[in-house]
Amino acid sequence: MKLSWSAIALACSLALTGCYSHSAPDDGPEPPVDAISSPVLPDAQSCEAQGGALDRRGRAQTLMCVHPYPDAGKACRDNQQCTGKCVTAPDDGPDGQIVGTCQADDALFGCYAEVVDGKAVRAICVD
């Protein structure tokens, strides 16, 4: 029996149609409407009681409780000299001679490199 190309194509497409599901996959039941909630916003009084202040940070300007560090802005040559991190610009100076500054608070955003033994390491940009 000799089949035409159109008959073969039709048979293949019918066979493949049985393998394809047009419906969405079943990921289980939808959560109840009351289970979907918005993010919890930080509480100003609780934040202040912990020594912080509410501030908007990052590209998304997310409201968060920010705690200042006591050595903010102090010159440093290593993370161990700071409460937080010793940071500098990602492309700052030759290795071994970098003097950074202790980060201001616990909500560090932007581009920076950590300073370890006078060398810029782990450069990163945090949005």
Over the stretch 57-104, which tens digit does the pLDDT of each residue have? 999 999 999 999 999 999 999 999 999 999 999 887 777 789 999 999
Q: Which helix (H) or strand (E) holds 57?
A: strand 53-57
Residue 27 confidence (pLDDT): 54
Contact 76, 99 (CB under 8 A): yes
Longest dimension (CA), the chain: 89
Q: What is the distance between the alpha carbons of residues 65 and 61, in angstroms, rounded to a whole number?
A: 12
Residue 23 confidence (pLDDT): 47
Averaged pLDDT for residues 20-40: 50
Residue 1 confidence (pLDDT): 46
Which of 4-13, 87-96, 118-127 has the highest average model confidence (pLDDT)? 118-127
Q: Are strands 75-76 and 86-88 parallel, antiparallel or unpaired?
A: unpaired
Q: pTM of the full predicted structure? A: 0.63
Q: Which residues are bridge partners to 63 per DSSP?
A: 56
Residue closest to 96 by CA, chosen among 67, 110, 116, 114: 116
Q: What is the distance between the alpha carbons of residues 85 and 69, in angstroms, rounded to a whole number?
A: 10
Boundaries of every domain in the chain: 38-126
Q: Please list, in sequence order, all residues whose beta carbon lies within 8 angstroms of the beta carbon of residue 86, skipping any fewer than 6 positions away.
A: 76, 77, 78, 79, 100, 101, 102, 103, 114, 115, 116
Q: For all residues of the chain together, what is the average pLDDT?
A: 78
- For the cut 50, the answer to whether the pLDDT of residue 12 exceeds it is no
Question: Please, what is the Cα angle at 76 between 62 and 122, to 5 degrees?
Answer: 55
Q: Which two tokens stand for residue 81?
A: 């000299």
